[in-house]
């Protein structure tokens, strides 16, 4: 008879095992970690990260994180390194070698070659008595007692530890460099992430013939203005183009519900006072949050106290940043 399994409990146990491993990593952040960060900060070269197997996959991820946060990095597969890829290493480069055991055949071949080249070698390793740990200039201790799987074979806790330690390294470097969101945007110009960091209201709102009426405008022109400009609203401005109110589709509906005769009403009678506004230099994502927080779909754009246009929720959504 086929055995039954509590799949939910298996998943919970796996997460608990990895959570325990991550928690213990804090005990291994020591002088070597600090020295490694300071060395990379001062370096004129790049960080080259190498590994084999699942450690190579983690190395690739750490490289991507470092590159996106201001630390130039390259991946070098440990097996390919001894077949020509060592040529990518320049004199000022710092090498990080990732391995759980620190004693695989590929590592034992690669490490002496790196040492002979004179580059600083940083180990990220669980086996603190391993060949790699003993040969490295600095050791980042990704120590794990066992893997999360019942056979203690599949890389689980070990790769999680490497990943978290790599993130700790990257964030330490990021903060020490005072790397800002503007810096981050330089490396992420494409996609939703980049747009959140650089796309501004000024890039989105319609600047030509924005919806607006005077305070004395009658109902029919107001309706035509809202309908023709397709913003679901119109600004109400004074003679100096200063915003004094806003009329939305909702305001029109409420006006019809509350008044049998609307022929004598003007914009001043039905407009909402103190509408939400935004500066054209504000980030588009901030405009979205302002709309979201106030349950509205448009914002008046104000520059030097003048009404210059209107941005709609759809203008932001079509950019795919939320």
Residue 267 vs residues 219, 225, 231, 235, 257: alpha-carbon distances, Å: 7, 12, 17, 10, 16
Cα–Cα nearest to 85, from 62, 64, 106: 106
Distance in angstroms (rounded) separating the CA atoms of residues 316 and 322: 8
Residue spans in the chain of domains classed CATH 3.10.580.10: 201-317
- pLDDT value of position 42: 95
Which residues are registered as beta bridge partners of 307? 302
Annotated binding-site residue? 314: no
Q: What was the pLDDT predicted at 191? A: 64
- pLDDT tens for 207-251 read 888 999 999 999 999 999 999 988 899 999 999 999 999 999 998
CA distance 207 to 200: 14
The average confidence (pLDDT) of the chain is 92
Measured CA to CA, the distance from residue 256 to residue 261 in angstroms comes to: 8
Where are the domain boundaries for CATH 3.40.50.10490 in the chain?
7-179
Report strand pairing: 212-214 vs 94-99.
unpaired
Q: Each residue of 16-45: pLDDT tens digit?
A: 999 999 999 999 999 999 999 999 999 999
Query: Could you say which of 3.30.1360.100, 3.40.50.1390, 3.10.580.10, 3.40.50.12280 is the CATH number of the domain covering 201-317?
Result: 3.10.580.10
Enumerate the H helices of the chain as residue ranges: 7-25, 31-42, 54-68, 78-81, 105-117, 131-135, 157-176, 181-187, 191-198, 219-229, 249-258, 267-270, 284-294, 313-317
Around Cβ 291, how many Cβ atoms within 10 Å? Answer: 19
Q: Are 233 and 298 in contact (CB under 8 A)?
A: yes
Give the global pTM.
0.69
User: 7-179: what fold?
Assistant: Rossmann fold (3.40.50)
Burial of 220 (0-12, 13-18, 19+ CB in 10 A): exposed
């Amino acid at each position: 008879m086929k055995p039954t399994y509590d799949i939910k409990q298996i998943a919970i146990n796996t997460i608990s095992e990895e959570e325990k491993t991550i928690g213990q990593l804090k005990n291994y952040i020591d002088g070597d970690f600090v020295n490694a960060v300071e060395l990379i900060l001062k370096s004129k070269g790049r960080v080259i990260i190498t590994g084999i197997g699942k450690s190579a996959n983690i190395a690739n991820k750490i490289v991507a994180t470092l590159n996106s946060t201001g630390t130039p990095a390259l991946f070098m597969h440990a097996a390919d390194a001894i077949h020509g890829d060592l040529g990518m290493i320049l004199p000022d480069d710092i090498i990080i070698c990732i391995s759980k055991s620190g004693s695989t055949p590929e590592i034992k071949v690669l490490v002496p070659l790196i040492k002979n080249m004179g580059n600083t070698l940083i180990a990220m390793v669980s086996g603190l008595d391993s060949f790699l740990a003993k040969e490295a200039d600095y050791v980042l201790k990704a120590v794990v007692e066992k893997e999360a799987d019942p056979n203690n074979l599949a890389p689980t806790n070990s790769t999680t530890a490497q990943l978290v330690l790599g993130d700790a390294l990257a964030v330490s470097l990021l903060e020490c460099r005072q790397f800002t969101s503007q810096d981050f945007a330089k490396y992420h110009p494409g996609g939703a992430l980049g747009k959140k960091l650089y796309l501004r209201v000024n890039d989105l709102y319609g600047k030509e013939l924005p919806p607006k009426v005077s305070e004395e405008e009658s109902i029919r022109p107001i309706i035509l203005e809202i309908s023709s400009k397709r913003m679901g609203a119109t600004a109400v401005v004074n003679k100096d183009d200063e915003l004094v109110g806003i009329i939305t589709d909702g305001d029109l509906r409420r006006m019809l519900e509350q008044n049998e005769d609307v022929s004598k009403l003007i914009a001043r009678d039905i407009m909402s006072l103190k509408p939400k506004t935004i500066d054209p230099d504000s980030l588009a994502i901030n405009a979205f949050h302002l709309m979201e927080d106030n349950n509205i779909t448009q914002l008046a754009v104000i520059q030097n106290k003048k009404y210059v246009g209107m941005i709609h929720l759809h203008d932001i959504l079509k950019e795919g940043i939320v």
